[in-house]
Structure formats: C-alpha cells, structure tokens
A and B are shown apart, each in its own frame.
Chain A
Amino acid sequence: KNEVEQSPQNLTAQEGEFITINCSYSVGISALHWLQQHPGGGIVSLFMLSSGKKKHGRLIATINIQEKHSSLHITASHPRDSAVYICAVLNYGGSQGNLIFGKGTKLSVKP
C-alpha cells in the first residue's frame, strides 16, 4: 500500500464546476504540499500546510491531521486548471527534500 494515496486518479469536469481532490497518508508528517504539474513537466507549488485551511484565489486546501487526510478544492473551474495535481508529505524528522509523493490526479476541465 502506498504511503500517500490520492483520489480520484483521473477527473473530468465542465467549466465552472466545483472540484475536490483527496489525499490520504499513512505516515506521521510535519507538512503536506499540493503541487500542480502542467504538460511539459514544470511543477508549481500551490500550498504547503501543516494544519487547518489555506486559500489562494479559487484554490482552497484543507488538512485534518488526526484523520491523516487533505483535500484540494477548486471553485469555478476553468480549462486552464487542467493539469496533474500531486500531493506530497514531509515525514516527521525528514528535512525539506525528503518528500513522499502521491501518484497524482489528472484533471481535465472542458469548456
């Protein structure tokens, strides 16, 4: 069993829909990252959180440490949101680079 599980693996939505991507993990963590990867490879860090909730524009990330679960929400989705979204956790005692990654959720938003 992977230490970081994401669902769904693939997601197709219509423009304007509310989207939720889930991430569950089985290890103790000090932080969780949500990353976005567009075709071509470049990765952008969307959020880093260790508790509660963060919001940036149309994106909201939440984490429940007790339940070992995080969600990424996209409100009013747009075709430019089409990308792979990756959850990554930083193990307790691990330094910055020692991340464990989920397999990613491929999002396609249709106009």
Chain B
Amino acid sequence: KAGVTQTPRYLIKTRGQQVTLSCSPISGHRSVSWYQQTPGQGLQFLFEYFSETQRNKGNFPGRFSGRQFSNSRSEMNVSTLELGDSALYLCASSLPAAGDTGELFFGEGSRLTVL
C-alpha cells in the first residue's frame, strides 16, 4: 500500500513568488492535514481538510491556503513568499470519518527555501 506522497520534495523560490505543494494521501484516507516545521517554532498546524472541506485552520496569515479534491488529494498554496516561510511542510493523512482520533501517516515533506 503506497504511503503519503508529497511533491515536490525540494524547491527554491524567491521573495514575492508563490508556491503550490501537493499531497496524495493513502488510498481510502479522507482526512489530510498540513504542518509547517521550522527550527525556531517547531511543528505547527496549518489546516485540515476532510471531504473537500476545510475543517480546521491554524494561526497562519491568509497567504497560506489549501484545498482538497474529490479524490482526497490536497494542495497548499503560499502566496507572496517571505524569507520566514522557509520550512519543511509536512502533510499527514488519516482514515476515520469522525476525525477525532486515528493514527496519522506523514509524508516525507516538502522543503521550501525562500531566497
């Protein structure tokens, strides 16, 4: 069974550009959540999608957005990139419909560098 796939794995952008990251969950998983990891702040929750609806959003500016497609694949977008957006972006998928408790399966992450 294929795991969670994130693309691209590495990318370099310049300030002011925008970026789109993709996450394909494990087949059958309907919940996809996104996280940002930086050396200073550690892991922080960005948002979560379930059945194409954003179910929860963390404390990030509106430049960070996401969406989920009918096949559960998810994308996140960051517009007007800032140096501080350099981070490892991780997504995780889980199975339960109720969404409260269930094991999380993480992708390898997309490492974004903003110059």
Are B100 and A45 in contact, CB atoms less than 8 angstroms apart? no
Size of the B side of the interface (Cβ < 8 Å), in residues, is: 33
Are A50 and B58 in contact, CB atoms less than 8 angstroms apart? no
Complex interface: chain A residues within 8 A of B109 (CB): 41-42
Are A88 and B56 in contact, CB atoms less than 8 angstroms apart? no
Which residue in chain B gives the minimum CB-CB distance to A41? B109
Complex interface: chain B residues within 8 A of A100 (CB): 45
Are A98 and B102 in contact, CB atoms less than 8 angstroms apart? no
Are A31 and B45 in contact, CB atoms less than 8 angstroms apart? no
CB of A103 within 8 Å of the partner chain: yes
Are B105 and A45 in contact, CB atoms less than 8 angstroms apart? yes
Are A96 and B33 in contact, CB atoms less than 8 angstroms apart? yes
Are B100 and A31 in contact, CB atoms less than 8 angstroms apart? yes
| A96-B104, A97-B31, A97-B55 known, 9 other contacts, Cβ within 8 Å | A35-B104, A41-B37, A88-B43, A90-B101, A95-B50, A96-B48, A96-B100, A97-B92, A99-B35
